[in-house]
Amino acid sequence: MSSYLERQRETLNGGISAASSKLAGGASAGVGKRPLAPPSPSPSITSSTSVPVGGTPTKRDRDGASTVYSQPANTSAGTTLLAQVTYVIDWLKQKDEPKTMQEILEYVSAQNKSPAEQEEFARSIRNSSRIQWIPDPDATEQTWRSGTYVHRPVIPNVRNKTQLLAYLQRQADMRGVPVKDLKDGWPDCEAAIDELEKENKVLVVRWKKDNHPRTVWLNDPSLVHRVDPEFQAMWHRVEVPGVDTIVQRLTAVGQKPTSEDPRLKMLAAPKVEKKKKRATRRTGRSTNTHMEHLLKDYSQLKR
């Protein structure tokens, strides 16, 4: 028995000595070596500061900001030129003359773009409802560089009083023509509208703020009749009684005044409150006939 215990003790002592020798060897081998620095955390997308090792937090440079890799990179290929279509429309509206595609490209500083981008831009210009493309009559084959471009107004071919009257006569409905649509192709149309209004050829609704014309309708001058100034003076000298006096006189002779509104009588009439009827209690089908005297409804007897 003692020999067994001695062998176990020797085995334990040998394991302890081997482990201690390994630890001592590892410590001696690591002498003189610099300990490894902890790994730096990965940059955060939403973080706006960076903390250097052994320093204070500093503001991250805007140019070195982290990139959101979940979204496609903004290469600006094609999108910049397509955004210039609105500026081209305003430019053609101001120039009021045909312009070639080369002149349009120079206006938007796109003459150095790739041919593919320029062709896509020309296609967008032709597809615009506010720009009219005029093909080149001398060209045998029309390309994206051929032809000229002009501004297409909301109301085309209306630039003077005669064309405005003709356009109003062609209207199939009684809707007025907005002056802002006329100004899109005829910016100085207000003077002509004022002259036509004085000639009783158009009817004009104006803004209350600045008295500028807002909407125009066609008018018939033959329906306008001149009233003698003497008759106008006599009319203004007539003393018109008040509304209450007229109502009293009409009522005295048994006539109904037109100013009497039946809705006012309905509003002035006293409101009669209607009593709400108490809903009768609906009971289910009685199956226990011997308990009918207990299930009978006595709610109508309640005060």
> Mean per-residue pLDDT for 43-66?
50
> Mean per-residue pLDDT for 263-279?
71
pTM of the model: 0.49
Q: Looking at 77-91, 171-185, 250-264, 277-291, which range is the least confident one?
A: 277-291
SS (H, E, C) the chain: CHHHHHHHHHHHHHHHHHHHHHHHHHHHHCCCCCCCCCCCCCCCCCCCEECCCCCCCEECCCCCCCCCCCCCCCCCCCHHHHCCHHHHHHHHHHHCCCEEHHHHHHHCCCCCCCHHHHHHHHHHHHHCCCEEEECCCCCCCCCCCCCEEEECCCCCCCCCHHHHHHHHHCCCCCCCEEHHHHHHHCCCCHHHHHHHHHCCCEEEEECCCCCCEEEEEECCHHHCCCCCHHHHHHHHHCCCCCHHHHHHHHHHCCCCCCCCCHHHHHHHCCCCCCCCCCCCCCCCCCCCHHHHHHHCCCHHHCC
Residue 73 has pLDDT above 50, yes or no: no
Whole-number pLDDT of residue 254: 86
For residue range 189-247, what is the model confidence (pLDDT) as tens digits?
999 999 999 999 999 999 999 999 999 999 998 888 889 999 999 999 988 888 888 88
Whole-number pLDDT of residue 72: 44
Work out the pLDDT band at 69, boundaries 50, 70, 90.
very low
How confident is the prediction for the chain on average, in pLDDT?
78
